[in-house]
Amino acid sequence: MPAAFSSRLESVFGVRIDQVEVNHIHGLVTNGVSEEFDLDFKRDLYGRSDAAKRELAGDVAALANTAGGVILIGVDEDDHARASAAPGVDVSDDERARMLQVVAAGVAPMPPLDIRAIVGPGSKGPGYFTIVVSRSTRAPHAVIVNDGYRFPVRNGATTRYLSEPEIAAAYRARHTGEVERDERLDVVDLEARNKLNQAQGPWLVVSLVPDLPGALEVTSAAHQEFSQRHQSKDAGMFLRMGVSYHRIRTGRRRLIADGGVHGEDRATYCLLECHSDGCAVAAVEVLDWNTRREPDTDGKPQLVLDEAVVAGVLTGLLRTAQHAVRAGAGGNAMVRASVVPTNDHAYEIGHNRSFGLGDSRSSAPLGSVAIAETVVALAEASVEGPELVQSAARLVDELGQSFGFPEMGQISRDGQIRIRYWGRTWADAIKAWADRCDVTVTTETL
């Protein structure tokens, strides 16, 4: 589901929107539920004529431009817009795909939505479609009509079109929202980095800010659940980083886990900050390979292994996106990945795949923080699979570009694992994970 919804719709259906079944739809008829600004009934499937396609595009755009909501196909209404019957419609994967194509072709920009078919247990008869549309931070969404654009919004149970001044105001609001999210990313990222023990390191930091904020209450129950999820767990999840969360605590509107002990001012080894609005930061110390091999390395740049960077970004992105979803955030998210050196020490990106020896891949050492940013869909980045790999690849490749090479190599932007760029430390683990999550493993090289 593309986003969290208000308690109003959940109370109408009696369950979360993604858990609606046939009996919940029949309950709308029994209770005489009325259409509202976030709920639209359709007795029949949208037709295939140009007018019917514009109607579907307009209905979706109107919800995205207002507060989000649900179009329920297969439910009839009376003269007062109350659910009066639920005859259902023929449901199929082909029809779902057709509706998605119509929206993609008829609405600009494409809003976040999900179309779900609902049928009874073992039923081969009529069913229902729910078109779940998120409140969009990319509004206003235009409906393409001939060679022009119109901007629909919900007005109670009906639809109207924005005037020219309203369109201008909507675009200003979009820009303002983007600026505010950028500023929020700077704040949560810097606050977390200031908690790190930068006498150690270097650190790999992943910070995420969702477009649509969540609302997780920091309570004793939430603290206990957070502790159970992270206490004594490896920071690398399915790719073990060798460091675990030991100290669980709270901060203002956030839950915090790190690898330190009580009484320490700074986080050591790893840090996880999960904010009540769905923002999150995951940081892990990535060892200097030169120090591991030669304790006396004064004057030499630190050497950060490329596999450690990829593992940290891949698992950090998953962990932060999953928190955002748990907090009720939705839509897309801005993500920043950064490598933070030890007290501004010069460092390089390299590997140890040559018989365990550390080799630099960098054209020159870097003495400042390396940064990469991208936008991800929370619904994809919070699930282990190819889409997570695609998003992580954009970040790690951009980090590599700061050191003079175009791609990191271990993962590809089309969501595959390049196994030849993984050494003995993680090769078996990443392959096992890929097999479990339907991620393609390839032997291709750059």
The answer to whether 392 and 446 have CB atoms below 8 angstroms apart is no
Residue 367 has pLDDT above 90, yes or no: no
Nearest to 196 by CA among 256, 135, 133: 256
H or E segment to which residue 374 belongs: strand 370-377
pLDDT value at residue 291: 67
Residue 1 has pLDDT above 50, yes or no: no
The answer to whether 42 and 95 have CB atoms below 8 angstroms apart is no
Token pair of 261 as six digits: 């002990």
Residue 2 has pLDDT above 70, yes or no: no
pLDDT value at residue 298: 61
- The secondary structure of residue 280, as a DSSP letter, is E
> Domain ranges in the chain?
7-162, 195-442
Q: Which has more confidence, 276 or 262?
A: 276
Nearest to 433 by CA among 230, 235, 239: 239
Band of pLDDT at residue 135, cut at 50, 70 and 90: confident
pLDDT value at residue 5: 53
pLDDT value at residue 357: 60
Band of pLDDT at residue 355, cut at 50, 70 and 90: low
- Range with lowest mean pLDDT among 134-148, 242-256, 275-289, 425-439: 134-148
- Range with lowest mean pLDDT among 112-121, 241-250, 308-317, 402-411: 112-121
**Summary mean pLDDT of the chain:** 91
Mean predicted confidence (pLDDT) in 138-148: 88
What is 7-162's CATH topology? 3.30.950
- The secondary structure of residue 290, as a DSSP letter, is H
Residue 106 has pLDDT above 50, yes or no: yes
Band of pLDDT at residue 260, cut at 50, 70 and 90: confident
pLDDT value at residue 3: 42
pLDDT value at residue 7: 66
pLDDT value at residue 57: 96
pLDDT value at residue 358: 64
Task: Find the length of the chain.
Answer: 446
Residue 4 has pLDDT above 80, yes or no: no
Residue 189 has pLDDT above 70, yes or no: yes
Residue 225 has pLDDT above 50, yes or no: yes
pLDDT value at residue 359: 80
Q: How far apart are CA 254 and CA 278, in angstroms?
A: 9
How would you classify the pairing of strands 357-360 and 347-354? antiparallel
Token pair of 275 as six digits: 């904010």
Residue 315 has pLDDT above 90, yes or no: yes
What is the DSSP annotation of 212-224? Answer: E-------HHHHH
Nearest to 442 by CA among 378, 386, 362, 368: 386
Token pair of 110 as six digits: 């494409």
pLDDT value at residue 418: 97
CB atoms within 10 A of CB 24: 16
The answer to whether 48 and 139 have CB atoms below 8 angstroms apart is no
Mean predicted confidence (pLDDT) in 135-149: 87
The answer to whether 387 and 440 have CB atoms below 8 angstroms apart is no
pLDDT by residue (tens digit) across 63-105? 999 988 999 999 999 999 999 999 999 999 999 999 999 999 9
Q: How far apart are CA 18 and CA 216, in angstroms?
A: 19
Q: Which has more confidence, 292 or 51?
A: 51
What would the 3-class secondary structure string for 33-96 be? CECECCEEEECCCCCCCHHHHHHHHHHHHHHHHCCCEEEEECCEECCCCEEEECCCECCCHHHH
Mean predicted confidence (pLDDT) in 305-315: 95
The answer to whether 324 and 279 have CB atoms below 8 angstroms apart is yes
Q: Per residue in 130-162, is it b (16+ CB within 10 Å) or e — as a string?
A: bbbbbbbbbbbbbbbeeeeeebbbbeebebeeb
